[in-house]
Chain A
Amino acid sequence: MISSDTADVLPGTAIPNALASLDSILRTEELFRRPRRPPDYERETSALTTLVKALADAPHTILQTLADKVLAVLEAGSAGLSLVTKDEKRFYWAAIAGAWQPHIGSGTPRDSGPCGDVLDRNLPLLFSHWERRYPYLSVAVPLAEEGLLVPFYVNGKAVGTIWAIAHNDRRKFDTEDLRLLESMSRFASAAYQAVESIENLKSEAAAREQAEMGLRELTGTLAAQVRARTQELRRSEAFLAEAQRLSRIGSFSWSVARDEITWSEELYRIFEIDPGIPLTPAVIRSRIHPDDAAFLSDVISRSRAEAIDLDDERRLRMSDGSVKHLHLIARGTRNANAAPEYIGVVQDVTERRASEEALANARSELAHAARLATVAELSAAIAHEINQPLAAVAANGAACHRWLSAVPPNLERARVTVERMVRDANSACEIVNQVRALFKHSAPESIPLNLNEMIEEVRQLMLDEFSRHVVSIETDLEQDLPLSLGDRVQLQQVMVNLIRNGLEAMEGTTEGPKILSIRSKREGIQQVRVEVCDRGTGVQNPDEAFRPFFTTKKTGMGMGLAISRSIIEAHQGRLWVAQNEGRGATFSFTLPVLSTAPQ
């Protein structure tokens, strides 16, 4: 079918009330009574020859050529072809010659117009002043005095009409015109089919062209992408090389089957091998530290047999005798033939190793110095603390001796001095015991511990003390706290010390409620943290607080916090105190969790 959208019917005019009947505008019967002019075969043949030639040479314009020939052969005012549209609702004026040529592309309704009448009756019809019945045609000027229409068919189906119009009464169509028009209508059928196939071809060609264009575009895009990717790849290769150089990481691949080894530039640099030298086992082996050579050949023979993964640290020995530490990671896979293939990286960790060692040395020196300092400080502090009561005992003893030697002896005073001697001697013993306890902590027992359970036990133990101090206790313990490794009794002692410290700090406070909060939580992945927070007087000098025999209290030895710190440090943890933002202080300690705790 001809696929062409029709414009609307000619712009409409008001339809008069009384329309002429179809019969009143038809002159077909009269046509057959009119005298017939002699046929001009020569002219007809020439027209048909032109048409056939045109069909061959310019098939896409054949309909217009046909209209032109009809106009010429019939000596009409206008001539043209109307085609039924795809939806069969309209006629489309596909080609017009003569006075009506400007109306090409217009059309008429299928059910209300001369063309429709022709198809309905399936006969050629001659009309006279059809605008009397179809008023919309009155705008198609010049008006048609007569219009002769012949239907034409494709495969037995009427697909349109071919027509000729006389615009004045000097020209009257006769049966010779009808014969010519019918003859041309048969040609119209052929032309129609040709045009249709051309249209199909055209749309196919257009589709193909579109597809080709799409393909070209796609190819263009792909080419651009490939260019961009190539650039990216070059850039990332450059980045990789730079990154390898900076991080001293070289990479390699090794195909066992092809015995093909590829090294990155940096790997050559690490091995201090000229990139031009072929990578033979001997070349590589020349760099391997003699102590690691056996390992290497073992690994190589295993790697040939099966795809294994490697993660190891090994050494190189350079030609100048210096040693390099390498960290090697390789991933083994199997190719399609099940032969092992390797991709791996090698990092030069020599500097890291050296700085780690230096750091470890510095740490142990520091720890040693700190231990010595602590020991010196502790012994001075202990000596002083024991000396005090002993000096008092000695002075009291001397005084007692004098009271007893007096004449008469002053027994009353002597008794007082003896009582004091007993008291001070006991206090010296107490200090000795505490010191002994302090040094006992050097080797704590290590068992897996749930700190939350331990806190709960201590809380239970100290309920009496809480009520005596009129302090309420709040606990906020993190669920599923990881286990720690430690000495239960010692850590309990730390908790008791910290809690008691908090209780005593709040002794004198009158402001606000007395609350002691205990919290436990994870600190990163390797530590747990316990906090004991009071609302007491706070800590003026956080560093002093942990010094042995430091105390701000009337009673107490000032050993609690020093002992607690030494316990926590023996557990690889840390104990410290910080002033709260509001009132009071928070004592916190951390302990390593079980997985990372020293065994």
Chain B
Amino acid sequence: MISTDQLVFIVDDDYRIREALQELLASAGLLSVALGSATDYLAYPKPDGCACLILDVELPDINGLDLQRQLLGSDHPPIIFVSGHGNIPSTVRAMKAGAMDFLTKPFNDEELLRLVQTALTKDRERRIKQAALNSLKQRFLSLTPREREVLPLVVSGLLNKQAAARLGISEVTLQIHRTSVMRKMEADSLADLVRMAGSLDIPLSS
């Protein structure tokens, strides 16, 4: 009934809200962890699974928006803000910083659950994308220095002869490096390799 591969974090200083949210999520078959402060949340060991965060704006230690700012740029689950009294500036700030949504208390259960589901799905997708990128990075790191020089030239559309001339090597040698790159990067085609280079933010050579 309750799925264990996904987790909802609740950070709110009011124990009544924590209890009620946990109960609501449980009734929808969602596993949750409730924490009373931002510090507790940061200290909590995050399991390797998809997750989302229901974050109260008014927290006793760190303000919810500040916590969001701290998390920004790191690998963190989507945030759904809740607030006792939503004021416009803080809502705007939260949304700009990438909050999934901003709910004011008391909240509609359907809406909250829908948002939680969306957030979890989004996080799952994010995690898959992240995993693919990680694998791609691993493959890129397995290339030799010469192969890493060859890759940008190839994906930039240069002919083997041109690329070989740039590097001052023979066309035959370049062909060997190119085959090795395709193999190591697990690219099915040149188009596939070009896409991978795009994901890795490898600059094109003109």
Bound-state Cα–Cα, A417 to B27, Å: 11
Question: Residue B27 contacts which of A387, A392, A413, A424 (CB distance < 8 angstroms)?
Answer: A413
**Does B28 have its Cβ within 8 Å of any Cβ on chain A?**
yes
Write 5 A-B pairs (CB below 8 A) sorted by A numbering. Answer: A388-B16, A391-B20, A395-B112, A399-B26, A402-B28
Q: How far is the CB of A70 from chain B (nearest CB, A)?
A: 133
Bound-state Cα–Cα, A390 to B21, Å: 13
**Does B19 have its Cβ within 8 Å of any Cβ on chain A?**
yes
**Does B192 have its Cβ within 8 Å of any Cβ on chain A?**
no
**Does B14 have its Cβ within 8 Å of any Cβ on chain A?**
yes
Query: Scoring B residues 21 to 36 as 1 if CB is less than 8 Å from chain A, else 0, what string do you get?
Result: 1011011100000000
Contacts of B16 in A (CB 8 A): 388-389, 392, 420, 423-424, 427
Q: Is the CB of B106 within 8 A of A383?
A: no
**Does B85 have its Cβ within 8 Å of any Cβ on chain A?**
yes
Q: How far is the CB of B40 from chain A (nearest CB, A)?
A: 16
Q: Is the CB of B107 within 8 A of A394?
A: yes
**Does A406 have its Cβ within 8 Å of any Cβ on chain B?**
yes
Q: Is the CB of A392 within 8 A of B19?
A: yes
**Does B17 have its Cβ within 8 Å of any Cβ on chain A?**
yes
Q: Is the CB of A398 within 8 A of B14?
A: no
Q: Is the CB of B24 within 8 A of A398?
A: yes
Interface size on B, residues (CB 8 A): 20
Known A-B contacts: A391-B107, A395-B24, A399-B109. Give 9 more (CB < 8 A): A383-B85, A391-B20, A392-B16, A395-B21, A398-B110, A401-B109, A402-B109, A413-B23, A417-B23
Which residues of A59-117 are within 8 A (CB) of B?
none
Closest A residue to B16 by beta carbon equals A392
Bound-state Cα–Cα, A388 to B19, Å: 12
Contacts of A384 in B (CB 8 A): 58, 84-85
**Does A416 have its Cβ within 8 Å of any Cβ on chain B?**
yes
Q: Is the CB of B20 within 8 A of A395?
A: yes
**Does A380 have its Cβ within 8 Å of any Cβ on chain B?**
yes
Q: How far is the CB of A281 from chain B (nearest CB, A)?
A: 71
**Does B105 have its Cβ within 8 Å of any Cβ on chain A?**
yes
Contacts of B84 in A (CB 8 A): 383-384, 387-388, 391
Closest B residue to A403 by beta carbon equals B27
Q: How far is the CB of A408 from chain B (nearest CB, A)?
A: 12
Query: Scoring A residues 346 to 369 as 1 if CB is less than 8 Å from chain B, else 0, what string do you get?
Result: 000000000000000000000000
Number of A-B contacts (CB under 8 A): 80
Q: Is the CB of A396 within 8 A of B23?
A: yes
Which residues of B97-111 are within 8 A (CB) of A?
105-107, 109-110
Bound-state Cα–Cα, A393 to B16, Å: 9
**Ranked 3 nearest A-B pairs via Cβ:** A398-B109, A391-B105, A395-B20
Q: Is the CB of A394 within 8 A of B106?
A: yes
In this complex, the member of A395, A398, A402, A417 whose beta carbon has the largest number of chain B beta carbons within 10 angstroms is A395
Bound-state Cα–Cα, A8 to B117, Å: 142
In this complex, the member of A388, A390, A424 whose beta carbon has the largest number of chain B beta carbons within 10 angstroms is A388
Q: How far is the CB of A395 from chain B (nearest CB, A)?
A: 4
In this complex, the member of A380, A384, A394, A399 whose beta carbon has the largest number of chain B beta carbons within 10 angstroms is A399
Question: Residue B23 contacts which of A391, A399, A427 (CB distance < 8 angstroms)?
Answer: A399
Q: Is the CB of A388 within 8 A of B23?
A: no
Contacts of A420 in B (CB 8 A): 16, 19-20, 23
Q: How far is the CB of B3 from chain A (nearest CB, A)?
A: 16
Q: Is the CB of A416 within 8 A of B23?
A: yes
Contacts of B28 in A (CB 8 A): 402
Q: Is the CB of A395 within 8 A of B85?
A: no
Contact A395:B109 (CB < 8 A) given known A387-B84, A402-B27:
yes
Closest A residue to B22 by beta carbon equals A399
Closest A residue to B13 by beta carbon equals A388
In this complex, the member of B26, B105, B106 whose beta carbon has the largest number of chain A beta carbons within 10 angstroms is B106
Bound-state Cα–Cα, A568 to B39, Å: 38
Bound-state Cα–Cα, A151 to B201, Å: 160
Question: Residue A406 contacts which of B27, B85, B107 (CB distance < 8 angstroms)?
Answer: B27
Closest B residue to A396 by beta carbon equals B20
Q: Is the CB of B14 within 8 A of A388?
A: yes
Query: Scoring A residues 395 to 428 as 1 if CB is less than 8 Å from chain B, else 0, what string do you get?
Result: 1101101110010001001001100100110010
